[in-house]
Amino acid sequence: MPPPTAAEPVLKADSKDATTSGCDDADIQQTTTREFSIAEAAIYRVYRRRWVGLATLMLMNIMISWGWITFAPVSTSTQVFFRLEKASSVNWLSTVIFLAYICMSPYAIRIIESSIHASKSYNCDRVVIYTLRHLGVRTALLFAAGFSITGVWLRFIGARVSSSHGGHFPVVMVGQILIGFGQPFVLSAPAYYSDLWFTSKQRITANALISLSNPLGAALGQLIDPFLVSRPGDIPSMLLYIAIITTAVTAPVFFVQGKPPTPPCPSSAQEKLPFRSAFPKILQSVEFWLIFIMFSVLVGFFNASSSLLNQILEPYGYSENEAGIGGAVLIVVGLLASAVVSPIIDRTHTFLLAIRILVPIISICYIALIFAPTSRSLAPPYIVLAFLGAASFSLLPLSLEFVVEITHPVSPEITSTILWSGGQLLGAAFILSMTALTDNETGGMKRALVFQAIISCFAAIAALAIGWGKREVHVLARRIALDTSEGM
């Protein structure tokens, strides 16, 4: 174990049973507290090395998201280059990644859980620590890196082979699927990683930094891809640049540690429920399923809108570059807003109030998006996209952390994966539905935007119903209560 000087200031708590606060009787009966085999000392520490894993997860999320969005900002050029008859074929390059996520996510849970249950405790045995460092997050990152690198290079090969005849579209599609297989290993990890390495005063911020790196990658794709592709023949070059960058950013994976030598706080030390024990508990939680509906619908529409933004704006005279800038506005403003909101929620823990404010704002933005493009000027759609991004990005990390709070001691990666799977599934369904609602004559997507606005309003109703009336007892922040009771 690294010497104490390698850690940040020591945080102490007594050896009181961690399950006696913040959990109901059923939780106490179902779980046993094992404070990483240091219960005698009950010393909690946060380590600087946690930032290495956080930065690596951020980089991987950025590149996998860029891989997902690659063809959407240049959909017209992609259609011409591959000689596709319909634009819907280009949309499938985004859709298959959502479906691949759903197929691979159960395996991602198993890989991430391996670090939780591979050992019953933490101790100073160097062999055990060495073994633990090669499980969990590090193993998940290795899987993500392997799938991503293979996928991006396969896409380049598919576009490069017989490029004079439009490339080999099925090979590119297989590359997209492999990128999708890598996504759950990094997209499901933020809540687990923040729970393992950070205290209750930093978890939302840590989750935000990792989770929002995913849309940051999409922003880079929206902004950079149109400038890399000035004509259809530039598609192979664009894929080559992305493949080189993706390969380069995987290097830090080998320096990521699976677990900290000691937990950062009591709630991290508490043993988490594995999937088989957790799922029946989740099924009985009305609040979880209300959040699931809200999260899945809004993430699904965000993914669909990002993928179809060029097709939404193009019929009104907007260019690929202007649509790409609009996508960047959506994401960059969202990142800036989340950078302000996340630390505030970390300190105040007003999860439910924030959800009840942000979700209606998102629904209003989707309603406004029906009319903004018809102005045929840049300001209205950019303003709507800015507000949509600010509210959506602020909502994302606090929703993921709020679910972990109300379902504790369910393992964080389980709830995160279920939420993300719902978002990815609806993202695929919404892309297909909105494409089907496109006007065949004009290419306009007004009917699709109306559909989007109506469904988002149902998500707002679900959000407002969370913890309503006598169900307030079901939205308690259990991890925070546990840490507070231990003086953290």
**CATH classification of the domain holding 207:** 1.20.1250.20
How open is the CA angle 255-261-263, to the nearest 5 degrees? 115
| Rounded alpha-carbon distances, angstroms, from residue 98 to 227, 268, 284, 300, 359 | 26, 31, 27, 10, 23
Q: Which amino acid is at 370?
A: I
β partners of residue 44: 11
Please state the rounded mean pLDDT for residues 351-370: 94
Mean pLDDT of the chain: 79
- Where residue 486 falls among pLDDT bands split at 50, 70, 90? low
Report residue 141: phi and psi, to 5°.
-65, -35
Asked if omega into 409 is within 30° of 0 (cis), the reply is: yes
Give the pLDDT score at 365.
96
Tracing tokens 């890989």 back to the chain, one arrives at 111
- Number of folded domains in the chain? 1
Report residue 270: phi and psi, to 5°.
-70, 135
10-19, 62-71, 450-459: the lowest-pLDDT one: 10-19
Residue 33 reports pLDDT greater than 50? no
β partners of residue 273: 410
| Rounded alpha-carbon distances, angstroms, from residue 22 to 44, 203, 204, 264, 411 | 19, 17, 19, 17, 15
pLDDT tens sequence across 381-417:
999 999 999 999 999 888 988 888 888 778 787 888 8
Report residue 276 as tokens: 């088989």
Q: 277 with 32: CB under 8 angstroms?
A: no
Residue 67 reports pLDDT greater than 70? yes
Tracing tokens 């160097």 back to the chain, one arrives at 126
DSSP 8-state assignment for residue 11: E
43-52, 98-107, 316-325, 464-473: the lowest-pLDDT one: 464-473
| Rounded alpha-carbon distances, angstroms, from residue 405 to 32, 182, 260, 311, 367 | 18, 27, 21, 39, 32
Q: 355 with 395: CB under 8 angstroms?
A: yes
* Distance in angstroms (rounded) separating the CA atoms of residues 208 and 287: 22
Q: 227 with 321: CB under 8 angstroms?
A: yes
Residue 114 reports pLDDT greater than 90? no
Give the pLDDT score at 185.
83
Report residue 49 as tokens: 């090395």
Which residues are CB-neighbours of 50 under 8 A, at least 6 positions away? 197, 198, 260
Report residue 159 as tokens: 């576009």
Burial of 276 from C-beta contacts in 10 A (0-12 / 13-18 / 19+): exposed
- Where residue 223 falls among pLDDT bands split at 50, 70, 90? confident
Give the pLDDT score at 17.
34
β partners of residue 47: 7
DSSP 8-state assignment for residue 319: -
Q: 166 with 83: CB under 8 angstroms?
A: yes
* Distance in angstroms (rounded) separating the CA atoms of residues 210 and 59: 9
Report residue 10 as tokens: 């020591």
* Distance in angstroms (rounded) separating the CA atoms of residues 231 and 476: 54
**What percent of the residues of the chain are helix, what percent strand, and what percent coil, each to the nearest 5?**
75, 5, 20
| Rounded alpha-carbon distances, angstroms, from residue 41 to 14, 21, 263 | 8, 20, 12
Kindly give the interhelix angle for 87-117 and 286-313, rounded to the nearest 10 degrees: 150
Residue 87 reports pLDDT greater than 90? no
Give the pLDDT score at 167.
66
Give the pLDDT score at 37.
42
Element counts in the chain: helices (H) and strands (E): 20, 2
Q: Count CB neighbours of 289 within 10 A.
A: 16
* Distance in angstroms (rounded) separating the CA atoms of residues 296 and 294: 6
Structural domain of 455: 4-485
Higher per-residue pLDDT: 440 or 369: 369
